[in-house]
A and B are shown apart, each in its own frame.
Chain A
Amino acid sequence: MTPSEGTVPSSFRDPSGFLFWHQNELYRQVNGAYKEHYDHLIASGLYRELQAEGMLIGHEERDLKLARSGAAYKIIRPALVPFISYPYEWCFSQLKDAALLTLAIQKTALEYGMSLKDASAYNVQFVSGRPLLIDTLSFEKYPAGRPWVAYRQFCQHFLAPLALMAYGDVRLNQLSRLHLDGVPLDLASSLLPDRTRFKFSLLSHIHLHARSQKRYADKPLKSKQRPMGRFALLALLNSLETAVKKLHWQPRGSEWAEYYGHTNYSDQALEFKEKIVADFLERLQPRHVWDIGANTGVFSRLASVRGILTVALDIDAAAVEKNYRQCRRDNEKCLLPLVGDVTNPSPGIGWENRERLSLLQRGPVDTILALALVHHLAISNNLPLGKIAEFFSCLCRNLILEFIPKSDSQVQRLLATRDDIFPDYHAAGLEKEFQPYFTIERREAIAQSERILYIMRSRSHAGR
């Protein structure tokens, strides 16, 4: 939900400035304390270079009268990111691409006499299919001889979770959700298998780095530390880049990533379903779509190819990885695959639970696609149909929903290992439970199957 006024809750730590909403527009106040660095960013040509390379978000300078405090030096209006996502919602390759972008920006910044003062994964967002740095105030003039102040943060936000995903389990990315400033290196070091100690890059940047943190934990930094030359800094960045590039993860063999290989849809029924969904999308003309339970994005693409910005959410990291790789390969600009569990969506985390938004706070969206999803919610997760209807009505204005009856083999498979305690699970029962929250606008049976597709309009968001 986009507020029309007020400071953005994630933007209060940096004394250089902050983001705020005013009359439905997003602005950034640049404080006087950051003047020297902001001017250098613009005058040195670094901003132009990063813009040209599609690495940094663009902005326009606006009237200083919009300032929220006397500390203001400039007011800028950054381009709007259509959907904010977080590192714990990214698949392996998304985090890896964001890490490589951060290092590439740092290398470019050094050429212009600047350096990144933070390397937070939250400063990167996916826009038009590519990672983009969204914090214009992340740069500072590079004082010769100073080590990279963001080295620790880079290791915690990027290298540690990537290594844990590559050498441990891809689900360990969820540690980023618990630890707001990245995965602590001592934790990463203890979780990584011993064989990673034989990889030079991981031995140094994670294991020994963690040890060093413990060693110096209670010692103040002496004011005259040995300086670190520019060449040594470039060597460090090169070493980090090599470390990230060497990390790989192959999605294979998960239940969902192979889903379309063993559904009971005939080719013709699948084609028919695609045609109806496409027809529904044409009728609704949404600007944004969330495809929940999107798998590898087959149906999400029905929306994204129409230029509709589509978030493809799935619980399975392998399916999301496959989806993202396809987006990257085909240079798809309107599709954003994300990892997420709709039965336990991303909560609001950080200070006051407001620094990182919950999934619900990022809605409501124009249209939700919930295809072959409700039986998982109702039967696998014991969620009453009324609760499902209420949840969707908070999240969207329109709903394209597929209902799969008990007689379908997919549902039979779910019922094989549990008692059938779902007497109201049938099309009439679903319609009855959804009626208080939605008006059912269309109902189409999918030929050669027993499934039904619906268009529903939320009663609570009607007319918005």
Chain B
Amino acid sequence: MNFFKNALKMSILAAGCLLLFPVRIYSYIDPGTGSYIFQIIIAAFVAVSFAVKVYWHKIKKFLGQLFAKKEK
């Protein structure tokens, strides 16, 4: 399960980034701008899984309550 989750996550990210960053070669490299912009993109991406991790107990509790109500 984890493997498929990971594979899916990576494929979406890779496809997105390939579109965003086509390969080009420059004679002078200033890595500052690229790093700055990239971290905003990657942070938005990892924030989703981070949110699940941080709020996992609350999500579990919420779902538990939801299903418990339905059963009633």
Contacts and interface: CB of A to CB of B under 8 A. Distances in A.
Interface in A209-223: 209, 211-221
Q: How large is the interface on A (under 10, 10 to 19, 20 to 34, 35 or more residues)?
A: 35 or more
Contacts of A186: 29
A228 interface: yes
Q: Is the contact region of chain B dominated by helix, strand, or loop, or is it mixed?
A: helix
B40 A214 contact: no
Interface stretch (A52-60, A63-71, A235-243, A307-315): A235-243
Interface in B18-72: 20-26, 28-47, 49-51, 53
A232 B6 CA distance: 20
B50 A238 contact: yes
A160 to B, nearest CB: 12
B51 A231 contact: yes
Interface stretch (A196-204, A381-389, A452-460): A196-204
Given A204-B13, A228-B39, A236-B43, A221 B22 contact: no
A211 B21 CA distance: 6
A200 B47 contact: no
A232 B47 contact: yes
B31 A185 contact: yes
Contacts of A112: none
Contact of A214 (B24, B32, B50, B51): B24
Contacts of B35: 151-152, 155, 209, 212-213
A214 B25 contact: yes
B40 A147 contact: yes
A280 B33 CA distance: 58
A356 B38 CA distance: 31
B22 to A, nearest CB: 7
A226 interface: yes
B34 A212 contact: yes
A217 B30 CA distance: 5
B33 A217 contact: yes
A214 B29 contact: yes
B40 A228 contact: yes
A232 B50 CA distance: 9
A238 B49 CA distance: 10
Interface string A137-158: 0000000000111011001000
Given A208-B17, A236-B46, A239-B50, A184 B31 contact: yes
Given A225-B37, A228-B40, A233-B43, A208 B21 contact: yes
A233 B24 CA distance: 28
A218 B35 CA distance: 13
A212 B37 contact: yes
A422 B23 CA distance: 57
23 contacts: A147-B39, A148-B39, A184-B31, A198-B10, A205-B42, A208-B17, A209-B34, A209-B42, A211-B17, A212-B21, A212-B35, A213-B31, A214-B21, A214-B24, A214-B34, A216-B37, A217-B29, A218-B28, A221-B32, A231-B50, A232-B44, A235-B49, A236-B43
Interface of B: 6, 9-10, 13-14, 17, 20-26, 28-47, 49-51, 53
